[in-house]
Amino acid sequence: MNNNAIKNDAITSRDADFAQWYTDVCRKAELMDYSSVKGFIIYRPYGYAIWEQIQKYLDDKFKKTGHENVYMPLVIPESLFNKEKEHVEGFAPETLIATIGGKNQLDDRLIIRPTSEVLFCEHYAKIISSYRDLPKKYNQWCSVVRWEKTTRPFLRGSEFLWQEGHTVHATEEEARHETLKMLDIYDGLGKELLAVPFMTGRKTEKEKFAGAKETYSIEALMHDGKALQSGTSHYFGTGFAEAFGMKFQDKDNVLRYVHQTSWGVSTRLIGSIIMVHGDDNGLVLPPYVAPIQIVIIPVQQQKEGVLAKAREIETALSAKGYRVKLDDSDRTPGWKFAEYEMKGVPLRIEIGPRDLEKNVAVLAKRNDGIKHTIAIEELPSQIEPMMKAMHQEMYEHALAHLNGHITEVKTLDELKEVVDHKGGYAKMMWCGDVECENHIKDLTTATARCMPFNQTPFDETCPVCGKKAHKVVLFAKAY
């Protein structure tokens, strides 16, 4: 019996129209809904629960590495926002501004935070005076607002959820170490929780964050061959420190500026999970991030003993700490199969009267559809190895896709072929001039995603200008 058609006939296939497939999955897996304001989405329970798993993973890592959570105001006075020049130029065009409070016109208009650098800077300047006060390593979980013209669920929204870490240190070395350490934690999130391999590296001058000295990023490669920037970590140097007067008396009694970092990931990661792992039946969730890890579907549940056994299995698996759902609603098993496939639940346990006779259950894996018949008493011990294997399979599948889509190019034509047709990254030797970067963007819409940490050269000239090339850079079309 395969009743999937009951629910899934309305999903566009990935190859027919990837963008439409994506929107279909977002809606039909009940991850989100639209609100009446463009670009402000509703994070429905199932979508929000994925974010909660990401939060739990990261918050634990942040705390273990000495970070503390805080909460800064939602609003930034326009006068404060204007203090760091590059920063304000980067964000001003996309701000939402409040001008009326309690029925009165505001003198200093309030910007709804697009990011909170300036708030952290103002606070740090107040509370830091001695080397003893350093480092300060704060993080904040919140939503931010950026007034976007074109929006897509999770990928680009006028409001999104994120965490923003802001740290200040006594030395450049310590701040640089922090910048890379946090990038590493993000990379680990992909490896351990999301089953998403990230390309990591440094952003070009053109692509770096407004106000940062250096920006590093994690980039994921989607099924359609486009890249998705999934997180960033910045080293600020002393730029903001000078603008905001963040100084401290060092051990040698000299007054010095602090060295600063910031880093963040957002609900964009949910988009990453969808587009890396999803298939034509809907979402496919890696087991450790899935809000429901195992769904139990009774077959012929009115038959004696079926529901009782299903509940017994539910209790046994919940007791082991798994996130289990027993669907004993009055829908048909076919409807339920399709529903939880659409929702990407990693493991499905089917149990009916015939299984009951043999004291077995069927365990189906969402990622490859493979079914195993397992003795019921062995279920609790079989879940963990099964989940571990699934996670590994999904990671390796995504890694193979990534590795198969990094193509060394030595000419502009080759680059064009890669980004326009094959998809993925065109790996190119680059002279470092922004003009060449701009030329590629004008020609193809592809952008420099990053300069990977491995900078082994494979050619000598920049294919755009023919000058000496000394940097390895990855170009791709991106979301």
- Binding-site ranges for its own copies (CB under 8 A): 33, 35-37, 40-45, 48-49, 51-52, 68-75, 77, 80, 93-103, 109-110, 112, 119, 122-123, 126-127, 132, 138, 142-143, 145, 147-149, 158-159, 161, 329
Write the burial class of residue 79 (CB in 10 Å: 0-12 exposed, 13-18 middle, 19+ buried): exposed
Question: Smallest distance, Å, CB 36 to its own copies?
Answer: 6
Contact 203, 460 (CB under 8 A): no
Contact 376, 361 (CB under 8 A): yes
- Based on CB atoms, which residue is closest to its own copies, 131 or 288? 131
- d(CA 405, CA 225) in angstroms, rounded, equals 7
- d(CA 248, CA 245) in angstroms, rounded, equals 9
Closest by CA position to 276, among listed 318, 310, 227: 227
- Based on CB atoms, which residue is closest to its own copies, 251 or 421? 251
- Based on CB atoms, which residue is closest to its own copies, 20 or 79? 79
For 224, the token pair is 């359609």
Question: Smallest distance, Å, CB 244 to its own copies?
Answer: 12
- Based on CB atoms, which residue is closest to its own copies, 126 or 181? 126
- Based on CB atoms, which residue is closest to its own copies, 116 or 261? 116
Q: What is residue 470's DSSP assignment? A: -
- Based on CB atoms, which residue is closest to its own copies, 69 or 392? 69
Q: Are strands 347-351 and 294-298 parallel, antiparallel or unpaired?
A: parallel
> Which residues fall within 8 angstroms of residue 368, CB to CB, at 6 or more apart?
393
Question: Smallest distance, Å, CB 211 to its own copies?
Answer: 19
- In the chain, the amino acid numbered 70 is V
Query: Is residue 58 within a helix (H) or strand (E), and if so which, with residue range?
Result: helix 45-64
> Which residues fall within 8 angstroms of residue 224, CB to CB, at 6 or more apart?
14, 18, 275, 423
DSSP three-state, residue 304: coil
Question: Smallest distance, Å, CB 139 to its own copies?
Answer: 10
Query: Is residue 189 within a helix (H) or strand (E), and if so which, with residue range?
Result: helix 172-189
- Based on CB atoms, which residue is closest to its own copies, 159 or 214? 159
- Based on CB atoms, which residue is closest to its own copies, 126 or 320? 126
Question: Smallest distance, Å, CB 45 to its own copies?
Answer: 4
- Based on CB atoms, which residue is closest to its own copies, 62 or 198? 62
For 244, the token pair is 């905001």
Contact 179, 65 (CB under 8 A): no
Question: Smallest distance, Å, CB 226 to its own copies?
Answer: 25
Question: Smallest distance, Å, CB 136 to its own copies?
Answer: 9
- d(CA 52, CA 313) in angstroms, rounded, equals 26
Question: Smallest distance, Å, CB 71 to its own copies?
Answer: 4
Question: Smallest distance, Å, CB 182 to its own copies?
Answer: 18
- d(CA 415, CA 201) in angstroms, rounded, equals 20
Question: Smallest distance, Å, CB 74 to its own copies?
Answer: 5
Contact 223, 401 (CB under 8 A): yes
- Based on CB atoms, which residue is closest to its own copies, 155 or 426? 155
Closest by CA position to 316, among listed 296, 290, 344, 346: 296
Question: Smallest distance, Å, CB 104 to its own copies?
Answer: 9
CA distances from 106 to 102, 103, 144 (A): 9, 9, 21
- Based on CB atoms, which residue is closest to its own copies, 145 or 474? 145
- d(CA 55, CA 292) in angstroms, rounded, equals 16
Write the burial class of residue 359 (CB in 10 Å: 0-12 exposed, 13-18 middle, 19+ buried): exposed
Question: Smallest distance, Å, CB 75 to its own copies?
Answer: 6
- Based on CB atoms, which residue is closest to its own copies, 45 or 321? 45
Query: Is residue 52 within a helix (H) or strand (E), and if so which, with residue range?
Result: helix 45-64
Closest by CA position to 81, among listed 243, 215, 231, 209: 243
